[in-house]
Amino acid sequence: MLKACLNGGRGRAEHPAVPLTPAELAADAARCADLGVAAVHVHPRDAAGAESLRPDVVAAALTAIRAARPGLPVGVSTGAWIEPDPAARVAAVRAWRTLPDFASVNAHEHGAEAVAAALHERGVLVEAGLWTVGAVAAYRAWRVPAGRLLIECMAEEPPVALADAAAMLAALPRAAGPIEPSVLLHAEGPATWPVLAEAVRRGLHTRVGLEDTLQLPDGTPAPDNPALVSAALAAGAR
């Protein structure tokens, strides 16, 4: 699976094509889906452009994307930088009127398991975000099943990111039953493309988009999300 991560926490000052509004997210999602991505990950924004977990903000983004591209799986972030209080994050998930298909929960964040449990109770697929080997250990203590594991290499130096990827993948728990969570491997910044190539080599899911990088594989500026998706497809991601 190739997923498009459309905006993350970026603003227009970083790149003029970062989609922020529901209409912009929907347009980019549709264009990326037409190219072949299997899902999109978005960070819904309020009227001031700030990331938000509020029910109305999440619903507006999801509704617009689904209207533009029916059937395309859409996920959101529950990162602690959006709402630092774990209890408030849980309350936000329980208040959502329109549900995403999946949502990421960073295993190293305080209260992560409770947020994952709230998502699971509502039927939302949980993506466990694993940034370090320590985060893998924290995830292994969860009593909540994750449907997908995100191996997220945060180091910008490609050799370090690749080493981190290998270490985290080696530390993943083995499935206790017949169903094993799928694994998505990705990085950010200069390590994006080397780690994407490693994901392709290993046969793992991966992602690309303006959340992770502003550059094409040759180092030139990427004009938009579809250009990054096209480059990932050319590199063998599917």
**What are the strands of the beta sheet with 182-187, ordered from one edge?**
182-187, 148-153, 125-130, 102-106, 74-77, 39-42, 2-5, 206-208
Could you list the residue range(s) of the whole structural domain that residue 212 is in? 2-234
Question: What pLDDT, in 10s, does the model give residues 76-99?
Answer: 999 999 999 999 999 999 999 999
Q: How many domains does one find in the chain?
A: 1
Question: What pLDDT, in 10s, does the model give residues 31-75?
Answer: 999 999 999 999 999 999 999 999 999 999 999 999 999 999 999
Q: What is the domain-level CATH number for residue 179?
A: 3.20.20.70
Interstrand relation of 125-130 and 102-106 (parallel, antiparallel or unpaired): parallel
The percentage of the chain sitting over the pLDDT mark of 90, rounded to a whole number, equals 96
Question: What pLDDT, in 10s, does the model give residues 202-228?
Answer: 999 999 999 999 999 999 999 999 999
